[in-house]
Amino acid sequence: MSFEDANYTIITSRCKGPLYQPSLCCGALKDFACPYSTYINDVTTNCAATMFSYINLYGKYPPGLFANTCHEGDKGLSCPEDTPQVQPGQKASGAAAVAAPAAAAAVAAALAVSSIMSC
């Protein structure tokens, strides 16, 4: 699983400053990250940190934008249960929402969903 070549335009085209509207930014984050929630929520990997590093690299977002803005519950953002998950070996394309566990919350806007893969 690699986020290096993912298509981040789903986020960067909708989440724009200087105001960074929460509805647009958080919706875009969910659209991008949900297909990867299994990996992002796995605390045995660095997937959440890796994904948010690339999001911030390509979007040049202020530190903590998503972590401080995107909340739907005590576990972060919720992904629809029927969101198809990216499979091991499948190229990351960037398409749905993300859930990050408490351990990754320092780096990410937490989202809710989980597998074992090194990002």
pLDDT tens, residue by residue, 59-114: 999 999 999 999 887 778 889 888 998 865 566 555 433 443 333 343 333 343 33
What pTM was computed for the model?
A: 0.74
pLDDT for 91 equals 60
Cβ atoms 92, 40 nearer than 8 A: no
Residue 16 has pLDDT above 60, yes or no: yes
pLDDT for 103 equals 32
Between residues 5 and 53, which one has the greater pLDDT? Answer: 53
Sorted by where each begins, the domain ranges of the chain are: 9-112
Residue 2 has pLDDT above 90, yes or no: no
Between residues 103 and 36, which one has the greater pLDDT? Answer: 36
Cβ atoms 65, 25 nearer than 8 A: yes
pLDDT for 86 equals 84
Residue 77's CB is within 10 A of a number of other CB atoms, namely 26
Tokens representing residue 70 in the block: 């995107």
Q: Which amino acid is at 87?
A: Q
